[in-house]
């Protein structure tokens, strides 16, 4: 049976969320990551509300203002949960993605290649002077500085399903670019380590995220990234972790590789080497040595035509020199999955606009919960072999949430009305049935359908 049906079913959303929380033991993960409360409302209930709130048509603030907020906790309890500096959200998403990956890997061939993908994306904030650690950060898309954070993200993919493993909101390493205040914390505490990570360079933060993933049991064959993180130092650091890297080479005269006994830039290597002719998938393949601080590792550079500009070319480097050219190109193609992930999170899951908090801890919690929403959609689509995109699945969930609200409200109203009628009037059973039939027949069609579903 499909987890999310093609038609709107008022029970489908509840079943989907409940199955997700049960199958992957979300409550157990929260306890392991210190995301629990000493008394009162369980943290799991708050987590479930925050996770599902994106599927509703209004924010928590508007729910409270309009009287539609019916949860068993106050807004202060909710905000204290998000602002808690003790919850290890980095570990939470890492462990959750590991549990989901463990259920996916047996479904594919043992020869299938799994990979980590690393990239960053702009997390814009308008109220930077009041938002903790917000800064002017460089946006690689339009090559300008913007206000907010860089969301450094590590994903895991088997080529079919992509899961966000962990991530952090990077501020600026230049104190002059930091616009927001910083809360004083003990550097030995989780909150202190979280803020120290936010002020690392992107290249160092990338290695830290990979180390956390490996320490919590994640496995991958390769690490994929683009030119912004492609340097000899990064390639050697990743190799030292026991992983191979496949990345796009930066065309810079300052970055050189040892080729034919000489240190040359990629442009020089391309210029002096003989190219393949005809309709070959690649133009050039050369073995090189990557060197930094006296350490050398073998690698292979494959140059291919730029599809957007036939006169241009791009180069891909692999630290596994035994990998074939076709396989290097194929595996690197999986890197695009993280771009789809960022697009879905921003356009559909409200990554940037939903959380207005000024606390860095709350922003970290919000990012982790958005990652969890994406994992919910990803595993739902995978289990169903659903041909719909994650965006389509999201909007089906939104529609189902609206049906639940309307159906439940109609059921409560009718139940109260019929109880009152039976209490104040001595109707026979036949008279009551006749009254109900006449009443329902006089309602519009969409109301009759909603009542039928609720029944």
> pLDDT (tens digit, 9 = 90+) per residue, 173-202?
999 999 999 999 999 999 999 999 999 999
Which residues, 6+ apart, have CB-to-CB distance to 441 below 8 Å? none
What confidence tier does 55 reach under pLDDT thresholds 50, 70, 90? confident
**Spatial distance between the Cα atoms of 146 and 308, rounded to a whole number of angstroms:** 27
Q: In Å, how far are 12, 188, 302, 397 from 6, measured between CA atoms?
A: 10, 50, 44, 10
In a domain, residue 57? The reply is yes
Same domain? 261 vs 230: no
Domain interval for residue 202: 89-245+324-398
| Same domain for 289 and 196 | no
Other Cβ atoms within 10 Å of 23 Cβ, number: 13
Q: Which residue has the higher pLDDT, 403 or 129?
A: 129
Higher pLDDT, 306 or 444: 306
pLDDT average, residue stretch 24-49: 90
Name the maximum alpha-carbon separation found in the chain: 102
Q: How many CB atoms lie within 10 A of CB 153?
A: 24
Specify the DSSP element, H or E, that contains 262: strand 262-265
* pLDDT of 344 over the 80 cut: yes
Asked whether residue 335 carries a pLDDT value surpassing 60, the answer given is yes
Report CA 94 to chain centroid distance, whole Å: 11
Report how far residue 305's alpha carbon sits from residue 288's, in angstroms, rounded to the nearest whole number. 20
- Whether residue 67 is contained in a domain is answered as yes
Number of domains, the chain: 4
pLDDT at 412: 66
**Mean pLDDT value of segment 425-445:** 77
Judge whether 268 lies within some domain.
Answer: yes
pLDDT over threshold 50, residue 403: no
Answer whether residue 60 shows pLDDT above 60: yes
In a domain, 1, yes or no: no
Instruction: State the alpha helices, DSSP H only, in 54-88.
Output: 60-66, 75-83
Same domain, 263 and 207: no
pLDDT over threshold 50, residue 377: yes
CA-wise closest residue to 149 among 89, 97, 208, 194: 194
Strands annotated E in 125-241? 135-139, 144-157, 162-170, 222-225
Does a structural domain hold residue 434? yes
Average pLDDT over residues 161-169: 96
How confident is the model over 61-77, as a mean pLDDT?
87
Q: Which two tokens stand for residue 287?
A: 């073995």
pLDDT band with cut points at 50, 70 and 90 for residue 408: low
Average pLDDT, the chain: 86
With a cut of 90, say whether residue 291 has pLDDT above it. yes
Residue 165 confidence (pLDDT) above 90: yes
For residue 304, the SS3 value is strand
110 and 156 inside one domain = yes
Q: CA dihedral defined by 189, 195, 196, 201, rounded to 10 degrees?
A: 160
What is the pLDDT at residue 12? 61
Residue 52 has pLDDT above 90, yes or no: no
Judge whether residue 399 has pLDDT over 60.
no
User: Residue 8: what pLDDT?
Assistant: 44
- 146 and 174 part of one domain: yes
Q: pLDDT band at 409, cuts 50/70/90?
A: low
Domain check: are 111 and 231 in the same one? yes
Give the pLDDT confidence score for residue 2 in this predicted structure.
37
Long-range contacts made by residues 49-52, C-beta under 8 angstroms, separation at least 24?
Answer: 49/78, 50/78, 50/82, 50/369, 51/17, 51/369, 51/372, 51/373, 51/376, 52/13, 52/17, 52/401
In the structure, what pLDDT confidence band is assigned to residue 79 with cuts at 50, 70 and 90? very high
Mean pLDDT of 346-357: 90
Among 294, 322, 350, the domain boundary falls at 322
pLDDT of 160: 85
Indicate whether 46 and 98 sit together in one domain: no
Same domain, 317 and 328: no
CB atoms near residue 274 (< 10 Å): 8
Most confident of 8-12, 26-30, 105-109, 449-453: 26-30
CA distance 109 to 106: 7
Q: Which two tokens stand for residue 324?
A: 């074939």
What's the pLDDT score for residue 389?
A: 52
**Percentage with pLDDT > 90 across the chain:** 57
| pLDDT score recorded for residue 400 | 47
Domain shared by 176 and 240, yes or no: yes
Residue 286 three-state SS: strand
**Any idea which of 14-28, 77-91, 145-159 has the lowest mean pLDDT?**
14-28
Distance between CA atoms of residues 52 and 46, nearest Å: 10
Contact status, residue 132 vs residue 199, Cβ threshold 8 Å = no
Q: Which residue has the higher pLDDT, 312 or 391?
A: 312
Instruction: Examine the fold and report which residue of 301, 322, 343 is the final residue of a domain before the chain moves on.
Output: 322
250 found inside a domain: yes
- Are residues 345 and 410 both part of a single domain? no
Residue 413 lies in a domain: yes
What gap in Å lies between CA 271 and CA 314, rounded to an integer?
Answer: 13
Instruction: State yes or no: pLDDT of 97 exceeds 80.
Output: yes
Neighbour tally for 240: CB within 10 Å: 11
Question: Domain ends where: 322, 350, 369?
Answer: 322
Per-residue pLDDT, 425 = 76
Question: In the predicted model, is pLDDT for residue 312 greater than 50?
Answer: yes
Residue 43 has pLDDT above 80, yes or no: yes
pLDDT of res. 3: 40
pLDDT at 278: 74
Residue 4's pLDDT band, with cuts at 50, 70 and 90, is very low
**Rounded distance between C-alpha atoms, residue 317 and residue 289, angstroms:** 11
Q: Tell me the pLDDT band of 395, cut-offs 50, 70 and 90.
A: low
Sign of the C-alpha dihedral computed for residues 25, 31, 35 and 40 taken in this order: positive
- Evaluate if residue 282 carries a pLDDT over 80: yes
Q: Is residue 230 part of a domain?
A: yes
pLDDT band for position 333 (cuts 50, 70, 90): very high
Give me the pLDDT at residue 1, please.
Answer: 31
Asked if residue 401 lies in contact with residue 13, where contact means CB atoms within 8 angstroms, the answer is: yes
Q: Are residues 122 and 227 in the same domain?
A: yes
Most confident of 4-13, 47-56, 169-178, 422-431: 169-178
Contact (Cβ atoms closer than 8 angstroms) between residue 149 and residue 179? no
Torsion angle of the four alpha carbons 75, 76, 78, 81, in this order, in degrees rounded to the nearest 10: 170
10 in Cβ contact with 406 (< 8 Å): no
Using pLDDT thresholds of 50, 70 and 90, give the confidence band for residue 27. very high
Do 108 and 167 sit in the same domain of this protein?
yes
């Amino acid at each position: 049976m499909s987890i999310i049906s093609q038609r709107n079913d008022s029970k489908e959303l509840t079943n989907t969320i409940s199955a997700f929380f049960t199958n992957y033991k979300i409550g157990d993960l929260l306890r392991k990551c210190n995301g629990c409360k000493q008394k009162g409302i369980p943290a799991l209930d708050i987590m479930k509300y925050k996770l599902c709130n994106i599927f509703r048509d209004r924010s928590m603030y508007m729910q409270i203002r309009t009287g539609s907020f019916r949860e068993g906790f106050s807004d202060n309890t909710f905000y204290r949960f998000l602002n808690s500096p003790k919850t290890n959200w980095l570990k939470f998403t890492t462990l959750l993605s590991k549990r989901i990956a463990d259920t996916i890997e047996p479904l594919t061939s043992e020869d299938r290649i799994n990979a980590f993908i690393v990239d960053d994306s702009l997390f814009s904030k308008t109220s930077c002077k009041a938002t903790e650690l917000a800064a002017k950060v460089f946006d690689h898309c339009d090559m300008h500085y913007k206000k907010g954070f860089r969301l450094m993200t590590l994903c895991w993919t088997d080529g079919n399903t992509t899961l966000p493993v962990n991530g952090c909101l990077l501020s600026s390493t230049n104190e002059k670019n930091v616009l927001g205040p910083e809360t004083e914390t003990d550097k030995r505490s989780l909150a202190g380590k979280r803020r120290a990570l936010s002020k690392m360079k992107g290249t160092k933060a990338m290695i830290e995220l990979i180390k956390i993933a490996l320490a919590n049991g994640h496995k991958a064959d390769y690490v994929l990234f683009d030119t912004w993180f492609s340097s000899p130092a990064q390639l050697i650091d990743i190799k030292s972790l026991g992983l191979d890297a496949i990345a796009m080479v930066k065309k810079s005269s300052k970055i050189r590789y040892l080729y034919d006994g000489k240190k040359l830039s990629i442009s020089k290597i391309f210029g002096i080497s003989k190219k393949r002719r005809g309709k070959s998938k690649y133009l050039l393949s050369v073995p090189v040595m990557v060197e930094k601080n006296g350490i050398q590792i073998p690698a292979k550079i494959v140059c291919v035509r730029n599809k957007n500009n036939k006169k241009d070319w791009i180069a891909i480097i692999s630290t596994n020199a035994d990998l074939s050219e076709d396989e290097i190109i194929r595996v690197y193609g999986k890197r695009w999955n993280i771009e789809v992930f960022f697009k879905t999170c921003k356009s559909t899951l409200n990554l940037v606009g939903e959380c207005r908090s000024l606390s860095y801890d709350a922003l970290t919690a919000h990012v982790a919960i958005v990652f969890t929403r994406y994992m919910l959609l990803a595993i739902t689509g995978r289990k169903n072999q659903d041909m719909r995109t994650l965006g389509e699945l999201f909007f089906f969930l939104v529609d189902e949430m609206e049906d639940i609200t309307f159906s439940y409200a109609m059921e409560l109203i009718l139940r109260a009305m019929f109880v009152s009628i039976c209490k104040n009037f001595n109707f026979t059973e036949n008279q009551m049935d006749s009254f109900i039939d006449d009443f329902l027949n006089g309602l519009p069609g969409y109301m009759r359908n909603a009542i039928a579903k609720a029944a």
